[in-house]
């Protein structure tokens, strides 16, 4: 007999070899029906996995993230099987589950179109109805290669050969006539994958490498309930309406040009938005005791070798040669910040030193990954670097967390936090990494801030805390980050004089709040659907004359608004007032001030709100006071 510890610490005894599916069935028919996968001692496994010794067991349903992945991974296999039935000569590449769905990459002998997705879905429904059991089996690398070569699956052969060197068995899953190279996990059969939809087609290079062949990627999603699928598809349609690329063009915020792929152009209204965010950033950082610096955009190879970027990040850097010396355009601001710190000697009394920099950085991104403002090749990083003593770590991290919370709350974002630990490709000693990770963990614990541990996803120089925003559509975006760094001060031999008169090494925090200002603007466009709160709106007030004779009055109004810093535009076109109001609504301007003969006679303006419609006639002084208060409080 073996002992299995279940949720809540309940211990049950079973015969060795019992499967997680058997345990789920023993615990209740409802759980067994809902089960998608399991965790055995914290490792995600198939429900069909035999359990041979004492362990902790968690049964995962679709409500669990790993349960979702198991069902959607199975959906990707169903997609591949359906495509293989309809297009027997197609070559299969890879098909993982991803956030919100799954995809599969295919090499078709002739192109397919979006119209073909309907018949592929119909074939998938047949496979689901057939209730095909998924059976896992293993082959030696030699047997696996032979089987895939006989099937003509060239991409699978390439993948197997990569893993053949260690001699370990290669795992496969079989459902009906379809066999797929896969490590799993999967649900027990095809039957539970009832609520699914193929959502789009795209091109994707094999292995993400532009030198390789372009494959056809089919995206889809899957749920256990049709109602959940419908709600998701409605959110997708809403997201299309909010697409920052579409709204950014319509609202005159930014443009992407063929002459600079991945390098955004900010238009006049976009610059107002960007500068307003930067002004806000400067206000809160001045309040929190930060000083602002600016470092060069290009620095020599020796600097990047000292920082470690030349060895760990060079493939993402743009380089050039000046006076026979290698230079690189900065992908990060931190090495420049280190030079500023080192430009003078510091005492322990000076610490912490909080240095902020709005630095333009450049990173080489593959063309296939570029996406509006969300993934670009140059962006403004709202960096700050904090230099401190070991005793100041926890308080400084807590201060940064509170600052980030203030900013995200202002915009109406919910967020969750991840603590990312040491990656394989890292610098520094075990002791440094342990101390750094414990410092971040302690700060989060003292703030009672819930977090999940993201093993192995830290920066190469230190662990980090990542903040994942949730926008108005429930989508998540990684923006803010706090990275604790013991390595860079050592590599640059940074020092301060301690209370004992001796020289010591400072500890460094890297942190961003917006992350990339460009990307944050993209997120804000979609979060607010372009309808920015008054303080942030590029045009805060639209002035609408009913006839040309009312223009002089509204020009005076515009001047008074400008004197108190309120951004206004006059629509002086020879159009009817109803048309002008509709246009201002489409431009998502927060307020409209309309003027006609009676308004001028009574020294008032007729006020319309983007949200509440007609607010009636008001004196300009009252309007200005109300607008100023709304801007001051940054109300949403």
Residues in a beta bridge with 482? 465, 511
Q: Could you give the 3-state DSSP secondary structure of residue 611?
A: coil
Q: Is 559 a catalytic residue?
A: no
What is the chain's Cα-based Rg? 29
Q: Which of 285, 385, 558, 580 is catalytic?
A: 385
Give SS3 for 352.
Answer: coil
Query: Among residues 73, 375, 510, 580, which one is catalytic?
Result: 510
Enumerate the β-bridge partners of residue 56.
Answer: 5
Evaluate whether 106 touches 92 at the Cβ level (below 8 Å): yes
Q: Which residues of 508-543 are buried (b: 16+ CB within 10 A; e: fewer)?
A: bbbbbbbbbbbbbbbbbbbbbbbbbbbbbbbbbbbb
Give catalytic status of residue 363 as yes or no: yes
**Measured between alpha carbons, how far is 387 from 17 in angstroms, rounded to an integer?**
55
**73, 330, 363, 580: which one is catalytic?**
363
- Are 61 and 67 within 8 A, CB to CB? yes
Q: Is 490 a catalytic residue?
A: no
Residue 580 falls in the annotated catalytic set: no
In a 3-state reduction of DSSP, which class is residue 267? coil
Question: Which helix (H) or strand (E) covers residue 299, if one does?
Answer: strand 298-300
β-pair partners for 606: 594, 617
Classify each residue of 320-330 as buried b or exposed e, where b means 16 or more C-beta atoms within 10 Å of its C-beta: eeeeeeebbbb
63: annotated active-site residue: no
Separation CA 481–CA 71 (nearest Å): 32
Count the helices and strands in the chain (H runs, E runs): 20, 35
Say if strands 451-454 and 414-420 run parallel, antiparallel, or are unpaired.
parallel
Helix (H, G, I), strand (E, B) or coil at 551: helix
Consecutive H or E run containing 33: helix 29-34
Q: Are strands 178-181 and 195-205 parallel, antiparallel or unpaired?
A: unpaired
Q: Where are the alpha helices (DSSP H) in 506-619?
A: 517-527, 551-563, 577-586, 597-601
Q: How far is CA 569 from the centre of its chain?
A: 35
Q: Is 36 one of the annotated active-site residues of the chain?
A: no
Q: Which of 36, 38, 182, 334 is catalytic?
A: 334
Residue 526 sits at the vertex; the CA angle it makes with 413 and 196, to the nearest 5 degrees, is: 95
Instruction: For residue 385, indicate whether it is catalytic.
Output: yes
In 378-534, alpha helices (H): 393-410, 430-446, 487-491, 517-527
Rounded-to-integer distance, Cα 295 and Cα 361, Å: 11
Of residues 464, 550, 580, 588, which has the active-site annotation?
Answer: 464
Q: What token pair was written down for 376?
A: 């670009």
Q: How far apart are CA 622 and CA 378, in angstroms?
A: 44
Give the catalytic positions in this structure: 334, 363, 381, 383, 385, 464, 510
């Amino acid at each position: 007999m073996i002992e299995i510890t279940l949720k809540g610490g309940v211990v049950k005894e079973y015969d060795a070899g019992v499967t997680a599916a058997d345990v789920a069935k023993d615990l209740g028919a409802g759980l067994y029906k809902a089960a998608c996968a399991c965790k055995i001692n914290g490792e995600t496994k198939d429900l069909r996995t035999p359990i041979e010794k004492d362990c902790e067991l968690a049964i995962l349903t679709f409500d669990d993230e790993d349960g979702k992945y198991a069902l959607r991974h199975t959906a990707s296999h169903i997609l591949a099987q359906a495509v293989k039935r309809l297009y027997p000569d197609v070559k299969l590449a890879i098909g993982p589950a991803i956030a919100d769905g799954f995809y599969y990459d295919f090499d078709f002998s002739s192109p397919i179109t979006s119209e073909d997705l309907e018949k592929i879905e119909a074939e998938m429904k047949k496979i689901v109805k057939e209730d095909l059991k998924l059976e896992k089996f293993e082959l030696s690398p030699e047997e696996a290669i032979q089987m895939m070569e006989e099937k003509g699956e060239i991409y699978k052969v390439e993948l197997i050969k990569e893993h053949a060197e260690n001699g370990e068995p290669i795992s496969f899953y079989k459902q009906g006539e379809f066999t797929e190279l896969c490590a799993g996990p999967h649900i027990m059969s095809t039957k539970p994958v009832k609520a699914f939809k193929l959502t789009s087609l795209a091109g994707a290079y094999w292995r993400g490498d532009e030198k390789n062949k372009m494959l056809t990627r089919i995206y889809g999603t899957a749920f256990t309930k049709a109602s959940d699928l419908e709600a998701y598809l409605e959110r997708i349609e809403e997201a299309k309406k909010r697409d920052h690329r579409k709204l950014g063009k319509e609202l005159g915020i930014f443009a992407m040009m063929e002459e600079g792929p991945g390098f955004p152009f900010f238009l006049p209204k976009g610059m107002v938005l960007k500068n307003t965010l930067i002004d806000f950033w400067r206000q809160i950082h001045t309040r929190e005791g930060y000083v602002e610096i600016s470092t060069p955009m290009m620095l020599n190879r020796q600097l990047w070798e000292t920082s470690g970027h030349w060895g760990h990040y060079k493939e993402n850097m743009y380089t050039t040669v000046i006076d026979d010396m290698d230079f690189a355009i900065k992908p990060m601001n931190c090495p420049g910040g280190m030079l500023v710190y080192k430009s003078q000697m510091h005492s322990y009394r000076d610490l912490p030193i909080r240095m902020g920099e709005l630095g333009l950085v450049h990173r080489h991104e593959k063309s296939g990954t570029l996406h509006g403002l969300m993934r670009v090749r140059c962006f403004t990083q709202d960096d700050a670097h904090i230099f401190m003593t070991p005793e100041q770590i926890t308080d400084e991290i807590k201060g940064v967390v509170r600052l980030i919370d203030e900013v995200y709350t202002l915009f109406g974002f919910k967020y969750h936090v991840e603590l990312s630990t040491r990656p394989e490709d890292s610098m520094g000693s075990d002791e440094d990494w342990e101390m750094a990770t414990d410092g971040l963990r302690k700060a989060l614990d003292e703030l009672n801030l819930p977090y999940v541990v993201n093993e192995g996803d830290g920066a190469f120089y230190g662990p980090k805390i990542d903040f994942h925003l949730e926008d108005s559509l429930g989508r998540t975006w990684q923006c803010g980050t706090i990275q604790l760094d013991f390595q860079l001060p050592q590599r640059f031999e940074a020092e301060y004089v301690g209370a004992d008169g001796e020289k010591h090494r400072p500890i460094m925090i890297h942190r961003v709040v917006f992350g990339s200002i460009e990307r944050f603007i993209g997120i804000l466009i979609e979060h607010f659907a372009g309808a920015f709160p008054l303080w942030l709106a590029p045009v805060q007030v639209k002035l609408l004359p009913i006839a040309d004779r009312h223009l002089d009055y509204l020009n005076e109004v515009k001047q008074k608004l400008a004197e108190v810093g309120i951004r206004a535009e006059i629509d002086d076109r020879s159009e009817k007032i109803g048309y002008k109001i509709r246009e201002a609504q489409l431009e998502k301007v927060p307020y409209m001030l309309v003027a006609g003969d009676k308004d001028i006679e009574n020294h008032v303006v007729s006020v319309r709100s983007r949200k509440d419609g007609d607010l009636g006639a008001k004196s300009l002084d009252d309007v200005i006071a109300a607008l100023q208060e709304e801007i001051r409080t940054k109300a949403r």
